[in-house]
Amino acid sequence: MSGYLRTTLLLAAMTALFAAVGYAIGGRGGMVVAFGVACVTNVFAWWNSDRMVLRMHNAQPAGPQEAPELHAMVSRLAQRAGLPMPALYIIHEDQPNAFATGRNPENAAVAVNTGLLQRMPPEEVEGVIAHELAHIRHRDTLIMTVTACLAGAIGMLAQFGWLFGGMRGRDERGGGLGPIGTLLVMLLAPLAAMVVQMAISRSREYEADRGGAEISGNPAGLAHALMRLEQGRRAFINHAAEANPATAHMFIINPLAGLRMDSLFSTHPSTEERVARLMALAGEMGTPRQHRTQSTWAPSGGAAGPWSAARPQRRRGPWG
């Protein structure tokens, strides 16, 4: 199934969910209004959701002057993947993580957290970047970014439901479901949107892991990067992701710390399973299974790997 067909089906499913929430809080009139809002949101999400998500996480552009070594790495990997050079962004968050966005390869962007650049050796950073480029090459970024935008909008619509429709009760012409029904919608609609995110995200992560390993030529490097990222997720809270949980499925590792019910509705497959598949792929490709950089995780904030010794006075490391 092509990326555009998957996106079309997703838009249809999310629009139907919008309409159902509208009916629940406002009857037939609410359904019509919600359908109109959904159509407008779909058009907006198609063209602007990537910029919206980058703003949610306060991502800052990083060109060759701001991050020369990182920019050179991304450019080299993009050429290897047969892709245009994506726009590069840096997010000032201690949790190591990254995501890609954009409606097509010609309008794509890769965003990395400063925690990733501070605490991971170059071959692991390379594996993470290659994973994100695989998402771009597979055209996953459009559907993942649109999903983030629409899931957030559904959550807001459900929260506003009590104000606009819950207290009005059910009328004889097909009104809303009343206070109890509206309360259920407020709880269940965001969960329904999260289930859609889970369905489209988990299989894509396996595919992007394989594609990233092929692009970088180092499955073990990506496998070890995933283990370090999982440790970082548990050690640091990603404040922007916690404030915008609808974007969680876009990251290479689930950025949510399980402060709510995040662990019950994870948008990512098991990190252990992903690592096992990558190590098996390393055997198939005939690449070394042993990671050549034996640096340890540094939860206190110090840079791991060779960069800490090379530039101890510079907290952000050599990436800019």
Question: What would the pLDDT profile of 197-251 be if each residue is shown by its tens digit?
Answer: 566 666 788 999 999 999 999 999 999 999 999 999 989 999 999 888 878 888 9
Which string of b and e fits 85-115 if b means at least 16 CB within 10 Å?
Answer: ebbbbbbebbbbbbbbbbbebebbbbbbbbb
Q: Are 24 and 168 in contact (CB under 8 A)?
A: no
Check whether 1 has a pLDDT greater than 60: no
Most confident range (mean pLDDT) of 19-23, 35-39, 109-113 is: 109-113
In angstroms, the first-to-last Cα distance of the chain is 39
Q: What percent of the chain has pLDDT above 90?
A: 39
Rounded average pLDDT over 164-180: 50
In 3D, which of 286, 278, 252 has the Cα closest to residue 267?
Answer: 252
Specify the pLDDT at position 12.
Answer: 75
Residue bearing the bigger pLDDT, 210 or 175: 210
In this structure, of 37-46, 75-84, 212-221, the range with the lowest mean pLDDT score is: 37-46
Catalytic, 242? Answer no
Domain ranges of the chain: 3-289
Among 132, 205, 207, 273, the one annotated catalytic: 132
Q: How much is the average pLDDT of 35-43? A: 72
Q: Please give the pLDDT value at position 193.
A: 63
